[in-house]
Amino acid sequence: MSSTTMQTQTITADNVIRLFPDVDTRLATSHRVPTNDNDLQGYDEEQIRLMEEVCIVLDENDVPIGSASKKVCHLMKNIDDGLLHRAFSVFLFDSNNRLHLQQRASEKITFPDMWTNTCCSHPLGVPGETGDELVTAVQGAKRAAQRKLDQELGIKAKQVPLEKFQFLTRIHYKAPSDGKWGEHEIDYILFIKADVDHTPNPNEVKDTRYVSGDELKTMFEDDTLNFTPWFKLICQSMLFEWWEHLDKGLEKYTGETSIRRML
């Protein structure tokens, strides 16, 4: 599955409510999904509940302009109209420099059963995870990463302290999951090197494995395996070069202030 290239209109603080009435220009704490929501009929109950989480709605420069439910942000009809939100992707390496991968659970509403990086999710519109300036936004992404590593993989915060996360860059991409759902994100890329204990949440994660760079390349050659579009984009463009410098020279790649557009 590849990212799309269709041009969409620019979303701003001035037009976001007119275009998307479900967006709240305040950073709300919850957006209740109705129990009779037709878009979510037939999906896993816990994954439906998670669709109530509040994502941070952005303009194209990564400036927060409101909030909306995870459901609203991931409907392809909204994505095609330009709705954009903030995300993060964690790449966790062990002391042998092997990358921890996860296979997303079958219960997931978007991109089920696909292999991807260690953890991918969203900073929420809650205190500590938001941020208008890059420094505070990065800290918010790191806090969200800690939260989701525990929720998805049972990795406790003390094993992944905030100061050990390294922020590399942001990517702006868009990709469909199926006819109804998709992604349109500015994604914060975070590296961390740590030996951790993990107990995957089966509602989130189907399988895990540690791989070397060569083993990951071999996985990509296996036609029976599917990968999330953001993971493929990062692997095809930057990952292996970063990986080679994991222990020496990674600092020259960290803290990038520009947004990499991959549309």
Q: Which residues form the catalytic set? A: 120, 185
How far, CA to CA in Å, does 235 sit from each of 123, 186, 232, 246? 22, 17, 5, 15
The Cα-based distances of 129 to 62, 146, 153, 159, 246 in angstroms read 14, 11, 20, 20, 26
DSSP class of residue 33 equals P
Quick check: 68 and 83 in contact, CB under 8 A?
A: yes
Q: Which long-range contacts (CB under 8 A, 24 or more apart) does 144-150 make?
A: 144/88, 145/88, 145/90, 145/119, 145/121, 145/190, 148/90, 148/119, 148/121, 149/90, 149/92, 149/118, 149/119
Q: Can you tell me the distance from the alpha carbon of 69 to that of 200, in angstroms, rounded to the nearest whole number?
A: 25
Tokens of 103: 């296979």
Alpha helices in 119-161 (DSSP H): 134-153
Residue 199 — left, alpha, or beta (φ > 0 → left; ψ -120 to 50 → alpha)?
beta
- From 195, 200, 131, 198, select the one nearest 167 (Cα to Cα): 131
Burial class (CB in 10 A: 0-12, 13-18, 19+), 226: middle
Q: Residue 121: beta bridge partners?
A: 88
